[in-house]
Structure 1
Amino acid sequence: MNNVIEFNPQKRTRRRPSLASQSIPVPRGAHLDQCRESWLLALESANKSPKTIRSYTDTAAAFIRYLRDNGLPCDAEGVQPEHVRAFLVHERHRTSPASADVHFRNLRAWFNWLCSDEVAERTSKSPVLKGDRPEVAKKVRQYVTVDEQKRLLAACRSNSFEDRRDRALLTILYDAGPRASGLMNVRYTPRNPDESDVDLRGRRIRIRLKGGDEHWVPLGAEATRALDRYVRARSAHSKAASSPWLWLGIQGVNTGHMTPEGLRDMLVRRCRDAGIRRRITPHDYRGTATHLLLADGASKDAVQRILGWRTPDMVEHYSDALADERARDIHRRHSPADRLAAGKQ
């Protein structure tokens, strides 16, 4: 018998690849689904607006879905900048650069939270890099012109409850540009002045900003007169005694509280009555007030305080689109050639 075993170096037994060698993302941190739920709790605890919370959590859900569909890491530690970059490119092609930019800002807020010392779910720096922000073409911001405002006010010049209410709303929006939710949630309790948000003698109303901070909005003499006329008409409303809200409705389920949606509907109706073909929104007045105050010489710090913004960046955001118009107006008043011809140089 031949007990010699022939050795053939060409033949090698194939070994089955281990699970570790296959391209399966191995979680290294908390799953993003759970992080999303925790972030929701944190946002609610911080008293963020429902609209802001919905935007943040919708972005988180879309990002998780993209990672899962493409076999990418779906945990707080495993996400890399290239994963975020690919998601933003995908969203830019699927929707628009503006939508991708919203996702970028929301993801930046989420991962900054995950990287914070308080949460510490990610030990490395945020994968949302500043250089990956989508480029969005700037559009000229629309604002309410003097002619449009005059036509809107003329459309509600009668002495009826509805016209007094709408004229007061239009005047306050034009005068100080408050946010729709803040304006429509002003309380009016004349029997309990300490809880009332209306101070006619002080020419101001108190609104609640994003995050719950209270802010007194100053009113000019005309806005105060319009509000005073409405308050007198309000006293005859059937819900005047029972409703704690300043703005009352005349139709619908809840006439005891006119909502931001009711304000938007009012503007649509008044634009139609005034023969204005374009759509004017409450938010258009925010930029309008900013532009008009700056054009009349108000400082950026004063405008920031009047509009209730926490940082001066928001003043730039709302006023930049109309800066060229303000510059042209300044040039008309200080034209070097005109001054020379007039003998002022």
Structure 2
Amino acid sequence: MTETLVPFTPAGNRRASKRKPLVPRGAPLYALIDSWQMSLEAAAKSPKTIRSYIDTAKMFRTWLDLNGCPTDAEGVEAAHVRRFLAAERERTSAASAAVHYRNLRVWFNWLIEEGERTWESPVKKGDAPKVPKKVRTYLTDLQLAALLAACKGNGFEDRRDTAIIRIFMDNGVRVSGLADMRTADLDLPGKRIRIRLKGGDELWLPIGAKARSAIDRYLRIRAAHPKADSPWLWLGIQGRGTHHLTHWGVRAMLGRRGQEAGLEEVHPHRFRGTAAHNLLAAGASDGDVQHILGWKTRDMVQHYTEDLAAERARETHARLSPGDRI
């Protein structure tokens, strides 16, 4: 019977009471990964999120095995998690280790909820890797104008790419939401588009008059496309997947158009912070920006726009200077 129990500190040790209690050895972690994945899919988590979670779980399980650590749900301790995160920080970066930290925290909370682990989580709040803050880069008005100029023309790609960039400029839509739009997700009279958020929630995002006109120009030339009957809004022009321009296709298009405009690192996420900053600079409230960009909390507004907060403050002062009124 003793072979099924985890070794424990003798009662004579005064610190024994602070250690974990005597518990049966838990189920092997590798046997629980598939169950966790099914639970994540049932919760309608996005494929990208699920892949990140599962990759971390597999990586951690492998690391435990290679380093002679317990590989069951009950045996993992905080020290094992700390060593794993330190190794990942050394191997890759603090940012990568931070992702693994968040994923492991979710995994072990799930194990506890499912009864697969009967004591506290080994992923401690104080062990979160410290990620150095980097300056966020935004797209200036001149850069945005250069991107639009690179798409100038009446061809299919020109009209499609202009419409996509106009939407990004207006509301900083997530690339996955934009790429998965269908023709039925357009409400041009109401100047809005419907996107699907992470988890399957739907949201109507506003667009401006120029974005609406750009979409209309695209729809007219789209009607002559060989795959015009595709339900997907954005179509490709080469390869086997011309019936649907995926988020990878959108990313590639932005990179190509960025090069044509003489810009570096043009990717979907840069539009998100840029749109938020421009909305705030134009007088939108934090709540407005939160809803327009589809964030669940206002904390994300500050996260994406704090780097240019001083610039917005200077512009506001120039417009409302108390001294200038006298």
**Same fold by TM-score greater than 0.5:** yes
Q: Do structure 1's residue 80 and structure 2's residue 77 form an aligned pair? A: yes
Distance 2:192 2:256 in 1: 27
Aligned position for 1:246: 233
Question: Which of 324, 329, 340 is equivalent to 2:315?
Answer: 329
Distance 2:131 2:244 in 1: 38
Aligned in 2, Cα 1:114/1:328: closer, same or farther, shift over 3 Å? farther
- Paired residues for 1:117-136 under 5 Å: 119-136=114-131
Q: Is the 8 A contact 2:5 2:25 kept in 1?
A: no
- Paired residues for 1:230-245 under 5 Å: 230-240=218-228, 242-245=229-232
What displacement does 1:112 show?
Answer: 1.6
Q: Do structure 1's residue 256 and structure 2's residue 243 form an aligned pair? A: yes
Question: Which of 199, 208, 217 is equivalent to 2:196?
Answer: 208
- Paired residues for 1:102-117 under 5 Å: 102-116=99-113
* Offset from partner CA, 1:76-99 (integer Å, 9 cap, x none): 222211211111111111211111
Aligned position for 1:311: 297
Question: Which of 249, 256, 260 is equivalent to 1:273?
Answer: 260
Relative to structure 2, which stretch is displaced further, 258-267 or 305-314?
305-314
Question: Which of 199, 202, 206 is equivalent to 2:187?
Answer: 199
Q: Do structure 1's residue 297 and structure 2's residue 283 form an aligned pair? A: yes
Distance 2:115 2:291 in 1: 35
Q: Is the 8 A contact 2:161 2:253 kept in 1?
A: yes
Q: Is the 8 A contact 2:234 2:245 kept in 1?
A: yes
Distance 1:140 1:184 in 2: 28
Structural RMSD (CA): 2.2
Aligned in 2, Cα 1:154/1:79: closer, same or farther, shift over 3 Å? same
Identity %: 58
The one-letter code of the counterpart of 1:79 is V
Q: Is the 8 A contact 1:184 1:247 kept in 2?
A: yes
What displacement does 1:21 show?
Answer: 11
Aligned in 2, Cα 1:253/1:20: closer, same or farther, shift over 3 Å? closer
What displacement does 1:22 show?
Answer: 8.9
Distance 2:172 2:4 in 1: 61
Following TM superposition, the consecutive aligned residue runs of length 4 or more in structure 1 with deviations greater than 6 angstroms are 18-23
What displacement does 1:177 show?
Answer: 0.8
Question: Which of 64, 69, 74 is equivalent to 1:67?
Answer: 64
* Offset from partner CA, 1:283-321 (integer Å, 9 cap, x none): 111111111112222122211111112222322322223
What displacement does 1:101 show?
Answer: 0.7
Indicate the structure with greater helix content.
2
What is the DSSP-based 3-state SS (H/G/I as helix, E as strand, rest coil) of the residue aligned with 2:244?
coil
What displacement does 1:330 show?
Answer: 2.8
What displacement does 1:226 show?
Answer: 1.0
Q: Is the 8 A contact 2:4 2:25 kept in 1?
A: no
Aligned position for 2:274: 288
Aligned position for 1:226: 214
Aligned position for 1:9: none
* Offset from partner CA, 1:78-129 (integer Å, 9 cap, x none): 221121111111111121111111111111111121222xx12222222111
Aligned position for 2:19: none
Distance 1:20 1:199 in 2: 63
Distance 2:310 2:121 in 1: 37
| Structure 2: unaligned runs, 5 residues or longer | 9-22
Distance 2:187 2:255 in 1: 29
Q: Is the 8 A contact 2:6 2:25 kept in 1?
A: no
Question: Which of 169, 172, 188 is equivalent to 1:177?
Answer: 172
Q: Is the 8 A contact 1:27 1:73 kept in 2?
A: no
Give the TM-score normalised by the residue count of structure 1. Answer: 0.84
Q: Is the 8 A contact 2:135 2:307 kept in 1?
A: yes
Q: Is the 8 A contact 1:143 1:285 kept in 2?
A: yes
Q: Is the 8 A contact 1:27 1:74 kept in 2?
A: no
Q: Is the 8 A contact 1:207 1:215 kept in 2?
A: yes
Number of aligned residue pairs: 311
* Offset from partner CA, 1:207-258 (integer Å, 9 cap, x none): 1111111111111111111111111111122211x21111111222121111
Distance 1:180 1:307 in 2: 12
Distance 1:164 1:87 in 2: 49
Aligned in 2, Cα 1:270/1:100: closer, same or farther, shift over 3 Å? same
What displacement does 1:162 show?
Answer: 1.5
| Structure 1: unaligned runs, 5 residues or longer | 1-17, 189-195
The one-letter code of the counterpart of 2:294 is G
The one-letter code of the counterpart of 2:250 is L
Aligned position for 1:5: none
Distance 1:37 1:63 in 2: 15
Q: Is the 8 A contact 1:294 1:300 kept in 2?
A: yes
Aligned position for 2:14: none
The one-letter code of the counterpart of 2:237 is I
Q: Is the 8 A contact 1:27 1:78 kept in 2?
A: no
What displacement does 1:59 show?
Answer: 0.9
Aligned position for 1:193: none
What displacement does 1:140 show?
Answer: 0.9
